[in-house]
Amino acid sequence: MSKSIKLAVLGLGTVGTGVLNLLNDNLAELKRRSGHDITITHVGTRRHRDDIDPNICQESDLMAIVRNPNIDIVIEVIGGQTVAKEVILEAIKNGKHVVTANKALLAEHGNEIFALAEQYHVHVAYEAAVAGGIPIIKVMREALAANKIDWLAGIINGTGNFIMTEMRDKGRTFEDVLTEAQALGYAEADPTFDVAGIDAAHKLALLASIAFGIPLQFDKVYCEGITDITLQDVTYAQELGYRIKHLGIAARRYHDGQQKEYGIELRVHPTLIPEDKLLANVNGVKNAVLVNAHPLGATLYYGDGAGAGATASAVMADVMDLIRVLTVENHGHHVPHLAFIPEALSDTPVLPADQMQTGYYLRLQAKDNLGVLADVTRILSDFGINIDAILQKPAHKQGEVPVIILTLPVIESKMNDAIKKIEALDAITAKVVRIRLDELAS
Ligand code: HSE
């Protein structure tokens, strides 16, 4: 029997407006797919908007909306972690299902929010929180449910990828591209979250939990942004057959021959990847997530990672799922929030940053002295660090040369020690620039 499903949209920024537009454009299709009437009855907004359908009630008291017994699903697209958290908790206590795009809130408070949702037998859906319009949460929680996921690597911040692509391809300045990303509705309210890697770290924390069945641990994600990447490094990397991409990487680590991992790496940083890999060719606002699972192998998910339409698409897909939950007999049934049942979450530790294993791109500024390269390579070999490639450019300043070294994977603490020794050499005139490198073998 056809029902009438009532939605409230809290927040009318880029995403909230996108949801209203989507419903306006695709309502007939959504009804055909769900078999039910879908209506936005309330929007939560501080300022009255004249361009909104007069049948929709505009309300500034968000608590009144989430307590309204007539509303079935609350869509939280306010962002931030204070008001958004309060209204989501109150919506849950009022027995409402929630859809949110708020990765910062879930990455930092998701354990508490999901526990409350379990207690009240409601669902908090968050497809829009990770990788914009790409249905990666659904894929990992449902389509890959038969697999053991070993690692994943993703370009999961559209703004950062857009900035790096425009700088590389068109020589535009960082500030100029960031301003455009803000105008296009890609960037966070505070764009530092995008360029410092925090937004990607939020998303990685969510992806890692549903990949490995661990509680959310945003505070343990190693995080570096894109602000220190220079055109010079982009060019050298290209000469060696690599592209620099800002990646989020989550990987189980095993001791040789063992089945059970001893730890998990969670890291977000610029990474050199071979230019012939698909991920190296994900440009502009596009996101992509490469998932390596057993027995499936590698699969790649690609699409728009930010923007009103992409995010609204993910929000409404969650709404459609929840309509099914609301309109079948078994109301309480849903996919576990973190993909694994709460009692089965694992306590495998997230490894400290100095235990990460990765290859490196090193750029040294050296005096053009006899034997300097021999000193550097000896230090690397003393620490068991295997060199994969060396590029030495002719002296570009009087008597000084840039030297580029690519290494095979090594434990980060060894690289830290080696870099300290290299920087202490008389012939090394500047701090060593290091960018991590991953061959993305799969
Ligand atoms: N600021 C985010 C990005 C929005 O650029 O990816 C989508 O989460």
The domains of the chain are located at 4-135+308-344, 137-303, 355-437
Residue 227 CA, ligand 1 centroid: distance in Å: 16
Catalytic residue among 203, 220, 245, 286: 203
- Report whether 110 contacts 206 (CB < 8 A): yes
33/230 Cα distance (integer angstroms): 48
Taking the CA of residue 311 as reference, the ligand 1 atom at the shortest distance is 7
Query: Is 397 among the catalytic positions?
Result: no
What dihedral do alpha carbons 92, 93, 96, 101 form, nearest 10°? -20
Is the C-beta atom of 199 inside 6 A of ligand 1?
yes
- Which residues does residue 302 pair with via DSSP β-bridges, in sequence order? 288
Tell whether ligand 1 has an atom less than 6 A from the beta carbon of residue 187. Answer: yes
Does the structure show a pLDDT above 90 at 140?
A: yes
Centre of ligand 1 from the C-alpha of residue 134, in Å: 12
Dihedral of the alpha carbons of 284, 285, 286, 288, in degrees to the nearest 10: 110
Q: How far apart are CA 7 and CA 75, in angstroms?
A: 7
DSSP-derived letter for residue 350 is B
Say whether domain 4-135+308-344 belongs to CATH 3.40.50.720.
yes
Which DSSP string corresponds to 354-391? Answer: GG-EEEEEEEEEEE--TTHHHHHHHHHHHTTPPEEEEE
Q: Which atom of ligand 1 is nearest to the CA of 193?
A: 1
- Ligand 1 center from residue 181 Cα (angstroms): 10
pTM above 0.85, yes or no: yes
* The predicted structure's pLDDT at residue 71: 97
| Distance separating alpha carbons of residues 213 and 291, to the nearest angstrom | 15
pLDDT higher than 90, residue 1: no
Please tell me if the domain spanning 137-303 has the same topology as the one spanning 355-437.
Answer: no
Write the CA distances from 29 to 35, 38, 52, 382, integer angstroms.
Answer: 10, 11, 21, 65
Give the CA dihedral 52, 53, 54, 55, nearest 10 degrees: -130
pLDDT in tens, 209-266: 999 999 999 999 999 999 999 888 999 999 999 999 999 999 999 999 998 999 999 9
Kindly report, residue by residue over 287-344, the tens digit of the pLDDT: 999 999 999 999 999 999 999 999 999 999 999 999 988 887 555 556 778 888 888 8
pLDDT-based confidence at residue 345 (cuts at 50, 70, 90):
very high
Give per-residue pLDDT as tens, 154-176. 999 999 999 999 988 998 888 99
pLDDT score, position 335: 74
Class of CATH domain 137-303: alpha beta
pLDDT at 397: 59
Atom of ligand 1 at shortest distance to CA of 188?
1
Task: Write down the pLDDT at residue 236.
Answer: 93
- Residue 401, SS3 per DSSP: strand
**Cα–Cα distance for residue pair 428/400, rounded to 1 Å:** 9
Q: Give me the pLDDT at residue 3, please.
A: 87
Looking at 3.30.565.10, 3.40.630.30, 3.30.70.260, 3.40.50.10470, the CATH number of the domain 355-437 comes to: 3.30.70.260
CA of 419 to the centre of ligand 1 (A): 34
Nearest CA to ligand 1 atom 7: 306
Q: Are 206 and 212 in contact (CB under 8 A)?
A: no
pLDDT of residue 398: 65
Residues in the chain: 442
